[in-house]
Amino acid sequence: MSKVFQFQQFSVDQTNCGMKVNTDAAILGAIATNDNINSALEIGTGTGVIALMLAQRYPEAQIDAVEIDEMASLTAELNFRNSPFSDHIQLVKSSFQAHFSKIDDKKYDLIISNPPYFVNALKSDDTSKRLARHTDVDFFQDLISGASIHLSLHGLLYLILPLDTAELVKSLLSSATKLVLKKTIFIHSFPESKPYRCIMVIGLGIESAVTQKFVIYNAQNSYTEEYRVLLKDYLTIF
């Protein structure tokens, strides 16, 4: 099986990455948007797929992509260099905490992450998979704290998470961070199935109870129209 995933305008080599290109990343990369984006940050870029999707959609924006895993960062760097967007996408080989500490007052109009989400769970013996999939509460505390400093006034933080981890993140939003939940998008495999993930949209301002439902399949191997429309500019199957 080829380790290269082909998109319409770029390809993604998945060699040495704990998390391969998957549906969660594709949905998040396509659905995350904001007005007047000049700068965006992806935290935990892995293969680089989400950063590449942002770079395709926002050709005038500077995209920074942070990756702490050495092998994954080498793969992402190669994918960026081989893409048509190499002039406005930059890999940062560090933790996001270290990145935030070095950029002083820099603001992002969009911060996006498909983060590790197995909080305090049994951890994999594979180092790259462990880095990609497992975390603890401190990770999300640092993420919320850093985003509150480095989001622009109209900036948005997008996270895709299991529902229980989303509740943990919601509990970390407070007057101290000044960040609030703007929207929750529940991801369903099928119309009648329970949501298995949710996308949290977080920003400054007034909290909102807006919720949306996003369904991937009408039936087995039959994509919904909303999924097709969302991914039509990226996936070759559409």
Is 237 inside any structural domain?
Answer: no
Q: How far apart are CA 95 and CA 50, in angstroms?
A: 17
Closest CA to 111 of 63, 69, 70, 68: 63
* Longest Cα–Cα distance in the chain: 49
Residue 78 lies in a domain: yes
Kindly report, residue by residue over 28-38, the tens digit of the pLDDT. Answer: 999 999 999 99
Number of helices (H), then strands (E), belonging to the chain: the values are 8, 14
In a domain, 86, yes or no: yes
Q: Give the total number of structural domains in the chain.
A: 1
Please check whether residue 186 lies inside any domain of the structure.
yes
Q: What are phi and psi of 157, to 5 degrees?
A: -105, 125
Q: Which domain holds residue 140?
A: 4-231
How does pLDDT run across 161-174, given as a tens digit for each residue? 999 999 999 999 98
Tell me how far apart the terminal alpha carbons of the chain are, to the nearest angstrom: 21
**Mind spelling out the 3-state secondary structure of 48-90?**
CHHHHHHHHHCCCCEEEEEECCHHHHHHHHHHHHCCCCHHHEE
> Regarding beta strands 11-13 and 4-6, do their DSSP bridges make them parallel or antiparallel, or are they unpaired?
antiparallel
181 belongs to a structural domain = yes
Report helix angle 49-57 to 23-31, nearest 10: 30
Residue 236 lies in a domain: no
Q: What is the CATH number of the domain that holds 169?
A: 3.40.50.150
Residue 115 in any domain: the answer is yes
Q: Residue with structure tokens 């992450």?
A: 113
Q: For residue 142, which of 108, 118, 169, 122 has the smallest C-alpha distance?
A: 169
For residue 55, give both structure tokens.
């770079």
Q: Give me the tens of pLDDT residue by residue for the chain, a chain 238 residues long.
A: 458 999 999 999 998 777 778 999 999 999 999 999 999 999 999 999 999 999 999 999 999 999 999 999 999 999 999 999 999 999 999 999 999 999 988 999 999 999 865 444 434 444 334 333 445 788 999 999 999 999 999 999 999 999 999 999 999 998 778 999 999 999 999 999 999 999 999 999 888 889 999 999 999 989 999 999 999 999 999 9
Q: Give me the amino acid identity at 32.
A: A
**Is 124 in contact with 130 (CB distance < 8 Å)?**
yes
Within a domain: residue 224?
yes
Tokens of 8: 């319409």
